[in-house]
Structure 1
Amino acid sequence: MKFTKMALAFLLAFSTLQAEGTKLDISAPAPEVLSTYYAAKAQSTEKVESKLKANGFSILATTTPVKGSTVITVTNDELKATNTWLATLNVLVNEKEVRIQNPSYFGAAYLQDKYTYGQFSGTLKSFQKALGDLYTVEDEFKLLKLPHYQFMMGMAHVEDTIEVGEGEDLETKLKENKYVAYTLKLPNGSTLVGHNLRSRTNKFLLKIDAAHNAHILPYRSMIKEGKAVMLDPKYYLAVSLPLLSMTEFMKIASAPGNIEKDIKRTYK
């Protein structure tokens, strides 16, 4: 009986370690494959927010794209200095874990040849101090291929943005708008906007059992020189969900169009 209990305890401990993935070592050389996200042990939203603030992050918004998934959007000086889509990162809090967008992964995807592995070590160290040990997850993609990522031949790249608004009064339209989660002025004068999509639009996450990656939202647009643009959802959803199969992509075929409509509605 004792042996059985000890063996069971060992197996449970082993399976837990396996599920956690590989622990992040910031000083290690660049890996061949990057984890899209890092996961930390489960904590309350209030505790996570407090620790993030204490470690140099500014909290821009706290949202709930789908039930049971709270998303905290953060920024810091290192992220803002990129003047890109990487100026903000999202942190997911649910009952099982805390999950963050990996700045190394999205840095490689967004910055392309301007990216050097390790340049966001400061941000990752701050996340470690705030959340504890960080572990890789099942979502991943090859580092060398991320700067040229596309879901399949003929589909969108990172530079394939969609215009969603035009005019000198774009930022005025964002004030007191329930579909705007946050705005962030960047050093180069552009403005990054986080959008609350309609609840029925957010349900695409449930169709592909991806509530554990709900921190791909809020969706963002960028205002610069009188124009607002967004990343093509056929790019952003795919790079954010690298395990997405063609069958799953077809299940959410209406999502890219619905997201675009939601964001354009904000600027009308």
Structure 2
Amino acid sequence: MKRLLAALAALLLAPACLAIGPYVEGEPLPAGELPALMGRLEQRLRDDGFTVVGRHLPPGLPKHGSLVVTDPALTQAARRAGGSAILAAPIRIGVRSDGSVSYTNPGYWGRAYLRGGFDAAEPALQAVRARLAHALGERGAFGGDVPEAELSAYRYMIGMERIDSPRHELNGFASFDEALGTVRANLAQGLGGTSAVYEIVLPEAKLAVIGVAMNDPDSGEGWWAGRIGPDHVAALPYEIYIVDGKVYALYGRYRIALSWPALGMGQFMRIVRAPDLIHATLGRLAGAGTR
């Protein structure tokens, strides 16, 4: 009887303990040059209704690249939820020269970024996941297991930032247009060794997310992502986002941990300088110093 009760309790508690990974492994392509591989994937994604908004070849990671796509279901979910939910609008696809393909899991990132808006968006996100699987294949999730219920308030460990941390704010402006114009102008100048990868702008909602390549060999993504695992190339590029007149970037102790949740503290200590370096770089794009 005790065993039966224990089994029943486990079944009842299982839904609350479901875990989910940040990435999905796609079907591999034959090895080849990255631009050609990316072109093949772009066509498949377009054929399945996605809009390709960017292509990224991170300096310092010569065998790795990423594509960025979006979809009306994603932008609509971001518009409805508002605020930092704009981060859920892009889907990133990782590509390696050996033909490996991966992509961000909509259920994982949707729970983290849409938060209270996730339940309403879940059917649309499931449809997006199905179309990604059709276009790219689906061999299973990888990259770590985080309980689904924890993602809306995720943090790597006590004392570190969550999605709603005030530390993410970089600068404030009188209007959305001024904020967006400042970031665009600074990216066009390549301030801090940066360049733009993509942008998704919802002007009527005063929301925008812009993918940023950080190209400095000593402090950019080639350095820190190379140290902790470039196989997670679908984590790149990093992004800056705008809500009304405020410019934000997720602080690295949240954004990097969310992207590499399975890494141990010793591995993160190898890039202990990265969160502040990233924040300083993106702060310059926002027209401000670090906070």
**Is the shorter-chain TM-score for this pair beyond 0.5, marking a shared fold?**
yes
Aligned partner of 2:170 in structure 1 is 164
State whether residues 42 and 96 of structure 1, in contact with CA within 8 Å, keep that contact through their aligned partners in structure 2. Answer: yes
Aligned partner of 2:155 in structure 1 is 150
Which stretches in structure 1 are left out of the alignment for 5+ residues?
1-28
Q: Where in structure 2 are the equivalents of 1:1-268 lying within 5 Å?
A: 32-43=18-29, 44-65=37-58, 66-83=61-78, 84=85, 85-94=87-96, 95-116=98-119, 118-161=123-166, 162-167=168-173, 168=175, 169-173=178-182, 174-175=184-185, 176-178=188-190, 179-186=195-202, 188-200=205-217, 201-202=220-221, 203-208=223-228, 210-268=229-287
Q: Secondary structure at the match of 2:146?
A: strand
1:69 is matched by which residue type in structure 2?
H
Q: What is the deviation of 1:262?
A: 1.6
Quote the sequence identity (%): 23
The change in CA–CA distance for 1:147 and 1:225 in structure 2 (over 3 A counts) is closer
1:80 is matched by which residue type in structure 2?
T
Q: What is the deviation of 1:219?
A: 1.1
Aligned equivalents of 1:230 and 1:261: distance in 2?
A: 10
State whether residues 198 and 262 of structure 1, in contact with CA within 8 Å, keep that contact through their aligned partners in structure 2. Answer: no
State whether residues 195 and 218 of structure 1, in contact with CA within 8 Å, keep that contact through their aligned partners in structure 2. Answer: yes
Aligned equivalents of 2:57 and 2:105: distance in 1?
A: 20
TM-score with structure 1 setting the length: 0.82
Aligned equivalents of 1:206 and 1:133: distance in 2?
A: 25
Give the aligned length.
239
Aligned equivalents of 1:177 and 1:37: distance in 2?
A: 33
State whether residues 177 and 266 of structure 1, in contact with CA within 8 Å, keep that contact through their aligned partners in structure 2. Answer: no
Aligned equivalents of 2:282 and 2:62: distance in 1?
A: 21
TM-score with structure 2 setting the length: 0.76
State whether residues 146 and 261 of structure 2, in contact with CA within 8 Å, keep that contact through their aligned partners in structure 1. Answer: yes
Deviation string, structure 1 residues 121-165 (Cα, Å, up to 9, x no partner)? 111111012112342224221112222211111111111152223
2:170 is matched by which residue type in structure 1?
V
Which stretches in structure 2 are left out of the alignment for 5+ residues?
1-14, 30-36, 79-84
Q: What is the deviation of 1:198?
A: 2.4
Deviation string, structure 1 residues 244-265 (Cα, Å, up to 9, x no partner)? 1110111111111111112122
**RMSD of aligned residue pairs (Cα, Å):** 2.0
